[in-house]
Amino acid sequence: MRVIFWGTYDTGKPRNRILRKGIRANGVDLLEIHSPVWEGIEDKSQIRGLYALLAVLVRWLSAYPRLIWRVCRAPAPDLYLVGYPGLVDIFLIFPIARLRGVPIAWDVFLSAYDTICEDRRLLTPGRLPAKLVRRIEGLSLRLPDILFMDTRAHARRLEALFGLSAGRCDFVWVGAELEHFKPSDKPEQGPPEAHRFRVLFYGQFIPLHGVETIIEAARLLRHEPIEWELIGQGQDAGRIRQLLADDPLPQVRWTDWVAYEQLKARMSVADVCLGIFGTSQKAASVIPNKVFQIIAAGRPVITLDSPAIRELLSPASGCTYLVPAGNPRALADAVMVHHRKILESGTPARCHQELNSHISSDAIGQQFLEMIQRRLAEP
């Protein structure tokens, strides 16, 4: 099978890197026709200033003439694949694919409307700008032959948001880059009774992650021997900074940024790692990168209980704690349960080992290929 991975997809996102590597690992001849527009921009909603916005816009739009030229010169593949973000890309590859009789698969991954309007509330749902985003995205979703998201729950949400037929959207998990997030033994830290328990959160400070819930949980446990490390920046950083200024928590340490390659070291000295705790329907529909990475690194995890997470994890494992959305008391209780477990029995053995074979890039590539073959075989 020959696939052309086309467009302005962001290779700074693990999603695209894992998918690319996994497809190749499964014997597919993958040709990339790509322009690096988004690299280095972790949170696109946080681009500030007219100059910065114009610079990105010019770089983005000027990439398309060359991308179109290159794809027209390349021999027709068996499939065009559009990665995230691909909302504009899909409109441009559609006529080329139709003229050549080649099917298109689009990894929507994140809905622009759901992210901007429903989850982050950067545009007010029901107002004209939000309606325009929804209308454009709704049209784009009807162009490809194959649509897929990151979880089954997220696929169902996309169908409901845009009135797509049931089963129109498929899913392929995000997975993890196991070469970066391998299990390792924790450093020696002395006897359990002398150990200061460590909780780690890393990621963007956006509503989906529910960082405010983490702060309130830390406040509930302020007198316990627990250290909280936060790594990240983003939309909600100002509010979190104000919360900590109004009522300081000395046990909370906040670092704006840590290199991707250094995250594993931070995870290895944490007793438990945190996922997401947001209250939106989108939060209940996704399994974020960090959860796959925590699993790959063999660390215990506390995260939002949702239909999406139960596609992958069960609290029966003993290393997984699922809590209600936006509930700091439930989060604090889960932290204390694991804290007591550490005190009673020491650092647990590596967690989630049975899942690594399902979340590697090879496994994700196989999941993608099986989904494509099944979809293309449909009448």
Does residue 167 sit in the same domain as residue 37? yes
Q: What type of residue sits at position 350?
A: R
Q: What type of residue sits at position 34?
A: H
Count the domains in the chain: 2
Residue bearing tokens 């622009």: 112
Does residue 255 sit in the same domain as residue 294? yes
Does residue 22 sit in the same domain as residue 160? yes
In a domain, 27, yes or no: yes
pTM of the model: 0.91
In a domain, 313, yes or no: yes
Quote the strand ranges of the chain, DSSP E: 2-7, 29-34, 79-82, 104-107, 146-149, 169-171, 197-202, 226-231, 252-255, 272-274, 301-304, 320-323
In a domain, 288, yes or no: yes
Does residue 64 sit in the same domain as residue 169? yes
The answer to whether 287 touches 293, Cβ cutoff 8 Å, is no
Cβ neighbours of residue 254 under 8 Å, at least 6 residues apart?
Answer: 229, 230, 231, 240, 244
Instruction: Report the C-alpha gap between 332 and 351 in whole angstroms.
Output: 21
Output the tens digit of pLDDT for each of the chain's 379 residues.
999 999 999 999 999 999 999 999 999 999 999 998 877 665 555 555 556 567 667 777 789 999 999 999 999 999 999 999 999 999 999 999 999 999 999 999 999 999 999 998 888 989 999 999 999 999 999 999 999 999 999 999 999 999 999 999 999 999 999 999 988 755 444 444 446 899 999 999 999 999 999 999 999 999 999 999 999 998 899 999 999 999 999 999 999 989 888 898 999 889 999 999 999 999 999 999 999 999 999 999 999 999 999 999 988 777 899 999 999 999 999 999 999 988 887 666 678 888 989 999 999 999 999 999 999 998 7
The count of other CB atoms within 10 Å of the CB of residue 210 is 28
In a domain, 87, yes or no: yes
The answer to whether 283 touches 276, Cβ cutoff 8 Å, is yes
Please give the full DSSP string across 12-60, using - where no structure is assigned. Answer: TSHHHHHHHHHHHHTT-EEEEEE---STT-S-GGG--SHHHHHHHHHHH
**Per-residue pLDDT, 192:** 45
Nearest-CA neighbor of 145 among 104, 184, 108? Answer: 104
CATH number at residue 322: 3.40.50.2000
Residue 125: is the preceding peptide bond cis (ω within 30°)?
no
Residue ranges making up the domain that contains 261: 192-358
Any idea how long the chain is? 379
Does residue 311 sit in the same domain as residue 204? yes
Joined tokens for residue 295: 């699993």
Nearest-CA neighbor of 93 among 109, 77, 116? Answer: 77
Instruction: Report the C-alpha gap between 104 and 3 in whole angstroms.
Output: 10
Does residue 164 sit in the same domain as residue 38? yes
Does residue 259 sit in the same domain as residue 169? no
Instruction: Report the C-alpha gap between 266 and 297 in whole angstroms.
Output: 11
**Per-residue pLDDT, 37:** 83
In a domain, 186, yes or no: no
Does residue 144 sit in the same domain as residue 263? no
Cβ neighbours of residue 188 under 8 Å, at least 6 residues apart?
Answer: none
> Given the DSSP bridges, would you call strands 2-7 and 29-34 parallel, antiparallel or unpaired?
parallel
In a domain, 187, yes or no: no
Instruction: Report the C-alpha gap between 201 and 123 in whole angstroms.
Output: 27
Instruction: Report the C-alpha gap between 85 and 180 in whole angstroms.
Output: 24
Does residue 372 sit in the same domain as residue 324? no
In a domain, 345, yes or no: yes
Does residue 365 sit in the same domain as residue 266? no
Q: What type of residue sits at position 322?
A: L
In a domain, 24, yes or no: yes
Does residue 213 sit in the same domain as residue 65? no
**Per-residue pLDDT, 284:** 96
Does residue 259 sit in the same domain as residue 125? no
The count of other CB atoms within 10 Å of the CB of residue 188 is 6
Joined tokens for residue 291: 């959860």
Please give the full DSSP string across 65-104, using - where no structure is assigned. Answer: HHHHHHHHHSPP-SEEEE-SS-TTHHHHHHHHHHHHT--E
